[in-house]
Amino acid sequence: MRNQFTFYKSFDDIIEDLTDKQIAEYMRSLLDVQFLRVKIDDIHFEDKILNIVWKSQKHSIQKSIEGYLNSQKGAENPFLGVYETPKEAKNTPLAIPSEGGRQQEEEKEEVKGKEEDKEKEEGKGKEEVQVCSPADTTADKAREIISHLNQLLHTHYKPNAAKTKALIQARLKEGFSVDDFKQVHIIKYAEWSGTDFEKFLRPETLYSNKFDGYLNQKISDYDKMRAVSSQTGMSALELLRAQGMAS
C-alpha cells in the first residue's frame, strides 16, 4: 500500500481561503484518493466551491497517482484498495515522471520563472536608462551650447571633444543652465572681441572654474547687442525681437 505522497504548495495555495470545514473535507478526500482508498472520479462534493477547487487540482492529483502506479508495475502486491491500474498502463509505458521527479520539475519551472521575471525587470531598467539617460541629456545640452558658440565666433569646436565635454558637464553639475552658457558667450565676446584677449574665446577658457564670475560680469545691454550684431548682421531691433523684447 502506498505510504506517502507529495503535497505541493499549489494545493495549499488553492485552499488557503477555504473555511476550516471545507479544508477538512478537501483533505479527507485528497488522502482517500492518494492512498488509493477511493477512485478520483468518485469524489464529489455537495459544496460547489469545493467541486471547483477539486477540479482545479484534479489533473495534478491524477498525475501523481499514475506516477506511483507506474513505478509499482511488476511489484508484488503493489497496493491495496479499490483503485485499479488503468488497462492501457499494462501495455503502454506512461511518460509521467515519478513524484520526486515531478516535484523537481515544478521546482525547476518555478526557479526558471523567477529568473525570467528578473531578466525582464533588468531589461526594463536598462531600456529606461537608454531612453532617459542623463548622459544623453548632457550630450544634447553640449551640442546646443557649442552650436551657439560656433555660430557666434564662426568656429568649429566639437561638442564631443573630451576636454570640452568634461568642462560642460562640470558646470551643468554645478547647476548652470544652457542659457547661462549662452550668456557667458555673449558677455565675453562683447568684452574680448577685437582685443588681445580674443584668443581666449574658446571652451577651455569660457567654461573654466571662473564661469560663475564671467556670468555675473556687468556688461551693458548695448555692448552685448553691438557685439552680437557685428557678428550676426542682425540689427538691434531684430535682436530685441529675437529675444521677445520687441514686437
pLDDT at 105: 64
The model scores a pTM over 0.75: no
> Does the pLDDT value for residue 90 go beyond 60?
no
Average pLDDT over residues 134-144: 82
pLDDT digits (tens, 9 = 90+) for 155-165: 999 999 999 99
> Does the pLDDT value for residue 180 go beyond 70?
yes
Q: What is the rounded CA–CA span in Å between residue 198 and residue 204?
A: 13
Choose among 156, 167, 153: nearest CA to 207: 167
> pLDDT grade, residue 232 (50/70/90)?
low
pLDDT at 121: 67
DSSP string, 219-231: --HHHHHHHHHHH
Name the DSSP class of 38: S
> Does the pLDDT value for residue 37 go beyond 70?
yes
pLDDT at 68: 80
> Does the pLDDT value for residue 39 go beyond 60?
yes
> Does the pLDDT value for residue 233 go beyond 60?
no
Q: Is 4 helix (H, G, I), strand (E, B) or coil?
A: coil
Q: What is the rounded CA–CA span in Å between residue 224 and residue 228?
A: 6
pLDDT at 73: 73
Q: What is the rounded CA–CA span in Å between residue 99 and residue 2?
A: 12
Q: What is the rounded CA–CA span in Å between residue 219 and residue 231?
A: 17
Q: What is the rounded CA–CA span in Å between residue 19 and residue 8?
A: 19
Average pLDDT over residues 64-68: 82
pLDDT at 49: 86
> Does the pLDDT value for residue 177 go beyond 90?
yes
Give the burial class of 83: count Cβ atoms within 10 A of its Cβ; 0-12 exposed, 13-18 middle, 19 or more buried.
buried
pLDDT at 167: 96
Average pLDDT over residues 123-133: 50
> Does the pLDDT value for residue 107 go beyond 70?
no
> Does the pLDDT value for residue 199 go beyond 90?
yes
